[in-house]
Structure 1
């Protein structure tokens, strides 16, 4: 089966100079092997690293239009992410990527709780041009969202309507969706 779902993953790490294979990398490799979903992985430890990684993808990767999902594995809470002990609001992130995420889905792993008001979500979508933002309302330090993330990503192989994808995700994985409080803003 030819894959048409591509994932760009950015993971917050304490130090990008320390090269380790994280659990996220291992899971992306399994996703490629098991479901033929292609991904690019980048680690970042600063807001500048985040911006540089996304700008490289935007301006230097000729396949950027193929990357439907931007997968962010970063700590934080509610309406912010944390990089190297500094907190950045999603409004600040939106302004960094103004108009650059057209048609993309930004998906946050449950390393951070995603809790946006309707206004915050709409602002983020309007400024970035993103099609949707998804993530989880619950963070369990001993339970990662990777199994549900993989199921979510895999559903993009079958269909394109993000609302139908989330409905299907709930049908197939209701207990885990409820436990982790899966959320979609679109």
Structure 2
């Protein structure tokens, strides 16, 4: 990759009015400090908040093209996310961002199990234009994916090929990849 890796992180919280330094924020700060990986962090508590945050990034941030990874820390299972006790399918999310995620990698933390059929994954990629969707098949509530997330993100500092980065991730962190069931749809 010719430039630095940039991450846009959107974390679902119960109430956006309550400001707290979550584990996600602390890990993004560590990534910036230790590896120079720049990120923007936002919270949302509704689907409108998610849409508004991503649209602000798309239309107002002139550096959007630099953001390679959209990091979503949300609850949910399989093919849906949960915001404020409402469930939204990834098909609905894809339609909200039709054609707007060209070349981006959407990465879900293990707070949401990512389990897509081939058709669901292909639909999401085709509609949004995203390059890949990644996440985890196991939701271990006592173990967050933050260590593996940081390792995955840091691989993009060296090179841009998502498949080679996943191979490298498995080489370096095989046991954790297996335990959390790391998944990539492309």
Q: Where on the TM-score scale, by shorter chain, does this alignment land: which range?
A: over 0.9
User: Structure 2 matches for 1:4-153, cutoff 5 A?
Assistant: 4-153=4-153
Residue-by-residue CA offset, 1:10-29 (whole Å, 9 max, x unaligned): 00000001111111111100
Conserved 8 A contact 1:3-1:37: no
Residue-by-residue CA offset, 1:108-147 (whole Å, 9 max, x unaligned): 0000100000000000000000000000000011100000
In 2, Cα distance between equivalents of 1:145 and 1:35: 18
Residue-by-residue CA offset, 1:51-72 (whole Å, 9 max, x unaligned): 0000000000000000000000
TM-score by length of 2: 0.98
Q: Give the deviation of 1:3 after TM superposition.
A: 5.8
Conserved 8 A contact 1:3-1:38: no
Specify the SS of the correspondent of 1:106.
strand
In 2, Cα distance between equivalents of 1:72 and 1:150: 13
TM-score by length of 1: 0.98
Specify the SS of the correspondent of 1:77.
coil
Q: Give the deviation of 1:80 after TM superposition.
A: 0.3
Residue-by-residue CA offset, 1:143-179 (whole Å, 9 max, x unaligned): 0000000000000011111000000000000000000
> Structure 1 residue runs of 4+, over 6 Å off?
none
The number of equivalent residue pairs is: 185
Q: Give the deviation of 1:6 after TM superposition.
A: 0.1
Question: Which position in structure 2 is the counterpart of 1:176?
Answer: 176
Structure 1 stretches lacking a partner, 5+ long: none
Specify the SS of the correspondent of 2:157.
coil
